[in-house]
């Protein structure tokens, strides 16, 4: 038997490696820094696979040991919405962002800016989920016992509601929105669209007035200036501007009804 030989790996070149430039920060209030990493290129690799390589080989491009890059992820198939970050200046899902689609050159990774930073690329999206609670984005039920057959929903309404149900609460629309800032209380496009989804549900409509009352408060639907950035970055292509316009009409009719009901 011939002895096993170990081949010397070929020298790295730009077509065989991917360079990531990552904005690092050890925690809230800490100073930020940039670090570059060189990752062997593989066919069809995504940004998450690059970060996984760095986790296994925490060395910068110039060979200096460093800490693992902190980021959030879950499903790795654009369902959970956890891996949102700013890639080459555009907010998107890192699990579905393919390296080969980003073109040549260094890839820049930064955390979202509209949510409190925890560390590196990991942010706290609690505000988004608290706003969903604030507008009661759920279908109310009485208990866990058998409630019998639910109300029928027409095919037309199903087709209208399905795109809205695809929201994964990733925060892309909020990061891109000029009205949504850490200093205000605007709920943003994702929450408004979920209000439309549940207001149009036969059982969910039981809380419709409560939701509209909430959206008439400061930070509600009236704060939207319809910049349209949300539609441009939504990974699920949800008709967010259409939802905002629909909920604004619902809110206006609700106010008129309340006025004449006095």
How many CA atoms are closer than 13 Å to the CA of 228, on its beta-carbon side?
A: 0
Instruction: Say how far apart CA 240 and CA 173 lie, in whole Å.
Output: 9
If asked whether residues 55 and 109 sit together in one domain, one would say yes
DSSP code, position 98: B
Q: Crossing angle, helix 208-215 and helix 189-199, to 10 degrees?
A: 160
User: What is the extent of the structural domain holding 58?
Assistant: 17-123
Q: Which residues of the chain fall short of a pLDDT of 70?
A: 1-14
The 3-state DSSP composition of the chain as helix, strand, coil percent (nearest 5) reads 35, 15, 50
Asked, for residue 146, whether it belongs to a domain, the answer is no
* pLDDT the model gives residue 141: 82
CATH number of the domain bearing residue 242: 1.10.1060.10
* Closest of 106, 37, 30 to residue 65, by C-alpha: 37
Shared domain for 68 and 183, answered yes or no, is: no
Does 93 lie in the same domain as 65?
A: yes
Q: What is the pLDDT of residue 7?
A: 43
CA distances to 164, 207, 228 from 197, in Å: 6, 12, 19
Does some domain include residue 1? no
Cα–Cα–Cα angle for 194, 200, 203, rounded to 5 degrees: 100
Residue keyed to tokens 């259409």: 242
Tell me, yes or no, whether 240 and 191 share the same domain.
Answer: yes
Beta bridge partners of 107: 20
**Are 202 and 109 in the same domain?**
no
| pLDDT in the model for residue 14 | 54
| 91 plus 185 within the same structural domain | no
Is 149 contained in some domain? no
pTM score, whole prediction: 0.89
What are phi and psi for residue 123, nearest 5 degrees? Answer: -120, 165
Tell me, yes or no, whether 72 lies in a domain: yes
Q: Are 252 and 133 part of one and the same domain?
A: yes
Give the chain's length: 262
- Tokens encoding 13: 């070149």
254 and 173 assigned to the same domain: yes
pLDDT attached to residue 3: 44
Alpha helix stretches (DSSP H) within the chain: 47-56, 126-134, 155-165, 172-176, 189-199, 208-215, 229-233, 240-260
**Residues 118 and 131 occupy one common structural domain:** no
Phi, psi of 149 (to 5 degrees): -65, 130
Residue 3 lies in a domain: no
Instruction: Confirm whether 6 is domain-assigned.
Output: no
Does one domain contain both 51 and 163?
Answer: no
Asked if residue 73 and residue 188 are part of one domain, the reply reads no
Report yes or no: 66 and 35 within 8 Å, Cβ to Cβ. yes
C-alpha distances (whole Å) from 114 to each of 66, 89, 176, 229 are 27, 14, 9, 14
* Residues 104 and 130 both lie in one domain: no
pLDDT of residue 10: 43
Domain count, the chain: 2
């Amino acid at each position: 038997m011939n002895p096993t030989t170990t081949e010397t790996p070929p020298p790295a070149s730009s077509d065989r490696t991917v360079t990531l430039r990552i904005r690092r920060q050890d925690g809230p209030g800490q100073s930020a820094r940039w670090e570059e990493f060189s990752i062997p290129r593989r066919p069809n690799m995504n940004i998450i696979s690059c970060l996984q390589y760095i986790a296994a080989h925490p060395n910068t491009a110039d060979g200096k040991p460093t800490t693992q890059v902190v980021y959030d992820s879950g499903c790795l198939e654009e369902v959970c919405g956890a891996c949102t970050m700013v890639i080459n200046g555009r907010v998107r899902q890192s699990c579905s962002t393919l390296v080969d689609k980003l073109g040549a050159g260094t890839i820049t990774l930064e955390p979202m800016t509209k949510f409190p930073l925890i560390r590196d690329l990991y942010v706290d999206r609690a505000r988004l989920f608290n706003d969903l609670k604030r507008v009661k984005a759920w279908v109310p039920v009485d208990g866990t016992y058998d409630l019998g057959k639910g109300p029928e929903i027409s095919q037309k309404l199903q087709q209208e509601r399905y795109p809205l149900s695809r929201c994964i609460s990733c925060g892309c629309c909020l990061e891109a929105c000029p009205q949504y800032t850490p200093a205000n209380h605007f709920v943003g496009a994702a929450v408004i669209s979920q209000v439309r989804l549940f207001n149009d549900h036969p059982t969910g409509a039981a809380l419709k007035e409560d939701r509209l009352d909430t959206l008439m408060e400061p930070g509600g639907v009236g704060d939207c200036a319809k910049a349209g950035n949300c539609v441009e970055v939504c990974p699920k292509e949800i008709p967010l501007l259409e939802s905002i316009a629909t909920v604004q009409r619902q809110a206006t009719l609700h106010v008129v009804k309340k006025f004449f009901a006095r």
